[in-house]
Chain A
Amino acid sequence: MSQPQAEVPRRKLGRTGLDVSYLGLGGYHLGTIQEQQTIDRIVAEAMDAGVNFFDNAWEYNDGRSEQVVGQALKGKRDKAIVMSKVCTHGRDQNVAMRQLEDTLQRLQTDHLDVWQIHEVVYWNDPDLIFAPNGVIEALAKAKQQGKVRFVGFTGHKDPRIHLKMLAHNYPFDTVQMPLNCFDGTFHSFEQNVLPELNRRGIAPLGMKSYGGSGEMLRHGDVRPDEALGYAMSLPVAVTISGVDTLEVLHQNLQIARGFQPLSAAEMHSLRERCQPQAADGHNELFKTSVKYDAKVGREQHHFQNEEELPL
């Protein structure tokens, strides 16, 4: 006889007044699933387990990720915190406002709960974002128009770039970044950015707890419960994890239901275990290579494409 299963617990989403589940559902991977039925089922099962945070981005799978999540959330919009990201990659606020309309339409909603600047990963991105007529002006405008409630930015490259963004003292509500047991000792967002966000009351959103595509599970000698457990034990609002099959969802939910944070000693020993393999970041290719940098961003910055610069 099985006991009624515990829900995924919730925490405050910074000072937004919203309560958010420890585990969030990543939008990129959902958009890679062929069958809408499967996507619907993943979203429904996740929500039944208490997951209420849905990540997305304008450019994920050329818009398909937003479309399929919009479809899956039909009739459930009110129970969800819907986030998407704007993909100007240095271009101006008009591009951003146009993308926002696309996003709202695809997600079948009249407003986003959180709208973030996607992929702040090039060293000059903060300057481009805060330039006159830059995307930062779109954030305020969209808020004013009631189309988005809260705003933030994301990036997976270097904590120093995040700190450059924060140095502008813009009132961001959320900031998203890679947080995992390898990050703890290498170009570390955990050490360099996370404390600053908590000091400022900005909601930290963690991502890439398995390395982006499960690299840490495949080559890093860590188990899913260790990797996801580590990420969820950090002082973050939510850990966003991508799911491309029901099996992965079930695995993640099993870890997240009734989650008890790891002890400081457990986290320390996991970091120590990962440290020798963390030192070049090959389990965090989003930091050390251009592999995870979006095509549009590379084009804006005139970087070589994936074929010319594979790693």
Chain B
Amino acid sequence: MREFGRSGLKVSAMACGGHHLGDAPEQKVANQIVQEALDGGITFFDNCWEYHRGKSEEWLGGALKGKRDGIFLMTKVCTHGRDKSLAMKMLEESLHRLQTDHLDLWQIHSVAFENDPDLFIRPNGAAEALREAKQQGKVRFVGFTGHKDPNVHLKMLQTGFPFDSVQMPLNPFDANFELSFEKLVLPELNRRNIAALSMKPICGTAAPVKQSIITAEELLRYAMSLPVTTTITGMDNIDVARQALEVAQNFKPMTAAEMQAVRDRVRPYALDGRFEPYKVSLKFDNPEARLAHNFPLDMQQKEVKEMLGASQNTGKPYPKYQSSQEQ
């Protein structure tokens, strides 16, 4: 358990990622994964309004039924530059799907594009929704996430908004790369006493593990050894959940020398960003964000296919929102 920023609250040093939960074959398996995580000592659950068109939130809400107390529940709002009223509508949906009356943490999802910080802080932007939701007691803490460019994160911090948390990809590949969250953003968060939440400990898709460059255990241990509040990792089946939990339960922080050795080992594979496609390509930009910006979509992308293919949805029509800018 670790301190959540300056709140005095404690959360588990590993968190269960919401996107992968929606990758489970059925709700029953998701329930098992959540139970396994709870039994293993996880208290922090990640999610997002747009993961699997709402399925991730619904499944997590179902799996946590009757177990909400003692849980640190986070989800994200997907305005992607659009306005406050849209954010508040999304919050109501998130609360409904998650079967709760409040979130512990509500974050702006996927801050990626150069103009996102300006759109966030503008009058009637999502920043006002964060304030209002806090005031209404619907969320306790607020933050933002993104996987693209540390400089965009720094621009968000420069807006002066009082964030409680900031989420970002942290792994030894990131640490070696020029566009490094570990080098550029993490020290700033620690200085400001903002809770640092790490994600993509195994680079999102485990590609370096599949290519036997490093083990998942080493990568998880590396991420957890950084000065962060929690490390969010995806669990799409029981085996992966158990493997991650085992690392967490036996966790001893790496020494500075051990961490350096890990960084040095992956360095030859890290300097060009080949294992961080979320930074160097558009492949991991989420389609909802692209639509909100009127950017074209990659029709081959899984998320785009999901968005277009109603058969893979929860069956409910995808809500059409219009921002005041577009009206």
On A, residues with C-beta under 8 Å from B are 122-125, 127, 160, 185-187, 219, 275-280, 282, 285, 288-290, 301-304, 309-311
A-B residue pairs, 4 tightest by C-beta: A124-B271, A122-B272, A279-B115, A311-B282
A160 & B112 in contact (Cβ 8 Å cutoff): no
Given the known A-B contacts A290-B280, A290-B281, A309-B281, are A277 and B271 also in contact in the complex, defined by CB atoms under 8 Å? no
A309 to B301, CA, bound (A): 10
Q: Which A residues are CB-close (under 8 A) to B293?
A: 276, 279-280
Q: Chain B interface: which size bin?
A: 20 to 34
Given the known A-B contacts A290-B280, A309-B281, A311-B281, are A280 and B114 also in contact in the complex, defined by CB atoms under 8 Å? yes
B283 interface neighbour in A185, A276, A278, A309, Cβ under 8 Å? A309
Q: Which A residues are CB-close (under 8 A) to B113?
A: 279-280
Q: Which of B194-239 contact A (CB under 8 A)?
A: none
- Give the secondary structure class of B's interface: loop
| Interchain Cβ contacts under 8 Å between A and B, 9 examples | A123-B271, A123-B273, A124-B271, A277-B295, A279-B113, A280-B285, A280-B290, A290-B280, A310-B298
Q: How far is the CB of B156 from chain A (nearest CB, A)?
A: 14
A99 to B293, CA, bound (A): 43
Number of A-B residue pairs, CB cutoff 8 Å, is: 69
B277 & A123 in contact (Cβ 8 Å cutoff): no
Q: How far is the CB of B176 from chain A (nearest CB, A)?
A: 9
B274 contacts chain A at the CB level, 8 A cutoff: yes
Q: Which of A127, A279, A288, A304 has the most CB of B within 10 A?
A: A279
B272 & A288 in contact (Cβ 8 Å cutoff): no
B72 contacts chain A at the CB level, 8 A cutoff: no
Q: Which A residues are CB-close (under 8 A) to B281?
A: 288-290, 309, 311
- Give the secondary structure class of A's interface: loop
CB-based nearest A residue for B285:
A280
Q: Which B residues are CB-close (under 8 A) to A276?
A: 115, 293-294
Q: Which A residues are CB-close (under 8 A) to B116?
A: 279
A304 to B112, CA, bound (A): 22
Given the known A-B contacts A280-B293, A311-B283, are A302 and B274 also in contact in the complex, defined by CB atoms under 8 Å? yes
Q: Which A residues are CB-close (under 8 A) to B271?
A: 122-124, 127
Q: How far is the CB of B226 from chain A (nearest CB, A)?
A: 22
B114 & A186 in contact (Cβ 8 Å cutoff): yes
Q: How far is the CB of A161 from chain B (nearest CB, A)?
A: 8
A256 to B294, CA, bound (A): 32
B298 & A303 in contact (Cβ 8 Å cutoff): no
Q: How far is the CB of B115 from chain A (nearest CB, A)?
A: 4
Q: How far is the CB of B121 from chain A (nearest CB, A)?
A: 15
Q: Which B residues are CB-close (under 8 A) to A279?
A: 113-116, 293
Q: Which of A160, A278, A289 has the most CB of B within 10 A?
A: A289
Q: Which of A186, A285, A288 has the most CB of B within 10 A?
A: A288
Q: How far is the CB of A180 from chain B (nearest CB, A)?
A: 16
CB-based nearest A residue for B277:
A309
B178 & A288 in contact (Cβ 8 Å cutoff): no
Given the known A-B contacts A309-B277, A309-B283, are A282 and B296 also in contact in the complex, defined by CB atoms under 8 Å? yes
Q: Which of B289-306 contact A (CB under 8 A)?
A: 290, 293-296, 298, 300-301
A302 & B269 in contact (Cβ 8 Å cutoff): yes
B294 & A277 in contact (Cβ 8 Å cutoff): yes
B274 & A301 in contact (Cβ 8 Å cutoff): yes
Q: How far is the CB of B86 from chain A (nearest CB, A)?
A: 18
Given the known A-B contacts A280-B290, A310-B283, A310-B300, are A122 and B115 also in contact in the complex, defined by CB atoms under 8 Å? no
Given the known A-B contacts A280-B285, A280-B290, are A301 and B114 also in contact in the complex, defined by CB atoms under 8 Å? no
B178 interface neighbour in A123, A275, A278, A285, Cβ under 8 Å? A123
A303 & B272 in contact (Cβ 8 Å cutoff): yes
A185 to B113, CA, bound (A): 12
A279 to B294, CA, bound (A): 11
Q: Which of B271, B282, B293 has the most CB of A within 10 A?
A: B282
